[in-house]
Amino acid sequence: MANTTSAKKATRKIARRTIINKSRRTQMRGAVRNVEEAIKSGDREAALKAMAHAEPELMQAAQRNIIHKNNASRKVSRLAHQIAKLAKLAK
C-alpha cells in the first residue's frame, strides 16, 4: 500500500491510465480481428477496407506505448502480405 502522497496519487493515475489503455488495446485488437476475418473469408475488398482502419489503430497504439512500435509494424506487414496473397489466389 502506498504511504506517501505522491505514491497515492501515482496509484490513482495508473488506475486511470490502465482503463484507457485497456479500451485502446481492445479497439486495436478488434480492428485486427476484422482484417483477419475478411482474409479468412477470402474477401479481398473487405480485407483492404478493414486494413485501412486497422493500420492507423495499430500505429496509434504504438505511439501511445500500448504495444511496441516493431510489434505494430510486424502486424501491419504480415496482414498486408496475407492480403497480397489473396490477390494472387484470385487471378
CB contact set of 41 (below 8 Å; sequence gap of 6+): none
Give the chain's domains with CATH numbers. Answer: 5-90 (1.20.58.110)
Contact partners, residue 61, CB within 8 Å, separation at least 6: 24, 25, 28, 67, 72
Model pLDDT, residue 7: 94
Residue 56: how many other CB atoms lie within 10 Å:
12
Grid coordinates standing for 72? Answer: 505494430
Pick out the chain residues at pLDDT < 70. Answer: 91
pLDDT at site 88: 83
Quote the pLDDT of residue 87.
Answer: 84
The pLDDT score that the predictor gives to residue 89 is 77
C-alpha–C-alpha distance, residues 28 and 52, integer Å: 13
Instruction: Supply the pLDDT for residue 91.
Output: 67
How far is 8 from 62, CA to CA, in rounded Å? 28
